[in-house]
Amino acid sequence: PCQNPNKHRARERRHQAQVEPQNLVGAQAIVGVGEEFPSSLSSSTSTSTESIQRGNIDEKVVIMVYYLLYKYNMKEFISKAEMLREVIQMYRNHYLEILQRAAEHMEMIFGLDLKEVDPYRHIYILVNKMEVSCDARLLNRIEIPKTGLLMAVLGVIFMNGNCVSEERVWQTLNVMGLFSGRKHFIFGEPKKLITKDLVQQKYLVYRQVANSDPPCYEFLWGSRAHAETTKMKVLEFTAKIHNMVPTAFPSLYEEALRDEEERAQARALAKARVAALAKARSSAIAKSSSRSKRV
C-alpha cells in the first residue's frame, strides 16, 4: 500500500535529526557543547538529578545543531512548531535556551545566522554571514558551510597584522578540534581546505615566507575575502567568540573603522563615476539627436 508522503517526510526529518553517540562526541569537540557536563556527580540526589537534566539539555543542543544544518542543506524554512515536535519534545520549558545555544554554535562554527522571518508563526531561516557566492561556489558542491572556519582564519590573520604564520593558524584550529592530516567529520581534511581549496577560490593567500629555509608559510586575506566581508565583520565575529565586544581591541577597531570609511568612499566615488558616465552619454545622445533633426 502507498504511504502518506507527509508522514514519510516527517519520519525522514526525525531520522536526520537523530545523532549517533559517536557523532555527539565529535560535535562537542567542534561545536563546544558538552563543556558544561559535570566531571563527577554529587552524592546529593537533587544535584544528581540536576546534572542529568543538564546533560540531557546539552544533548538536545547538539541535536538541534544537526537539525538546523539539515534544514539549511534542504533549503527549508524552520518553524518553532517543528522544532518543538521533532527536537525539543519533553523539554519545552527549555526551548529558548536550547535554541539560543544552538544558534550561537551555528554562528560561531558554521558562520550561519538564525533569522526570524515570521514573528507571528515563529518561522526562521539560516543566513550565511558572508556573501551568497562564498558557500554557493565553494568547492562547486557543498553540503555544510565552511564560512565559520573561514571567518576564524580571517580573524587570526587580521589580529596578527594582516599576515600570519601557518603555525599560528594551526594553533587556533587545534583549539577548534581541527588538525592537519586528520579528517574531520564535518569539515573534511582541514589542511587541504585552507591551503588549497580556499586558496583556489581566492579567499586566502598561502605563500612561502621570503628567504625561509626550511620553507615556512604564511596566510593573508584573498581578493574575494576583501570583496565579500569586511574587517569590522570579522572583528565582530572574533570578539563574539571571546565573549567580548569589538571595542575591546582598540587598535583593531580603529583599523576596521578606517576600512569601513575607505569602502564607503570607494562606493561613493564609483557611484559618482557611474552618474557622470550616464550624464555624458545622455548629453551625447541628445546632441546627436539634435544634429539629426537639423539634417
Return averaged pLDDT per consecutive 10 residues of the chain, 295 residues in all.
47 43 34 39 58 80 88 89 92 92 86 89 87 45 67 94 95 86 83 94 95 94 93 90 89 95 88 81 71 61
CB atoms within 10 A of CB 225: 25
C-alpha 61/C-alpha 65 separation (Å) is: 6
Q: What per-residue confidence (pLDDT) applies to 1?
A: 43
User: Per DSSP, what are the bridge partners of residue 112?
Assistant: 128
Give the DSSP letter of residue 38: -
- Which domains does the chain possess? 5-128 (1.10.10.1200), 145-295 (1.10.10.1210)
Residues 27-54: b if buried by 16+ CB within 10 A, e if exposed: bbbbbbbbeeeeeeeeeeeeeeeebeee
C-alpha 205/C-alpha 218 separation (Å) is: 8
Does residue 214 have a cis peptide bond before it, meaning omega lies within 30 degrees of 0?
Answer: yes
Residue 172 grid cell: 587556533
C-alpha 193/C-alpha 64 separation (Å) is: 26
Q: What per-residue confidence (pLDDT) applies to 131?
A: 55
Q: Convert the pLDDT of each residue in 131-174 to its tens digit.
A: 544 444 443 334 456 788 899 899 999 999 999 999 999 998 88
Q: What per-residue confidence (pLDDT) applies to 202?
A: 94
By the 8 A CB rule, do 68 and 74 touch?
Answer: no
Alpha-carbon torsion angle 236, 243, 99, 188, nearest 10: 70
Distance of CA 34 to the CA centre of its chain: 21
Q: What per-residue confidence (pLDDT) applies to 128?
A: 82
Residue 107 grid cell: 554562528
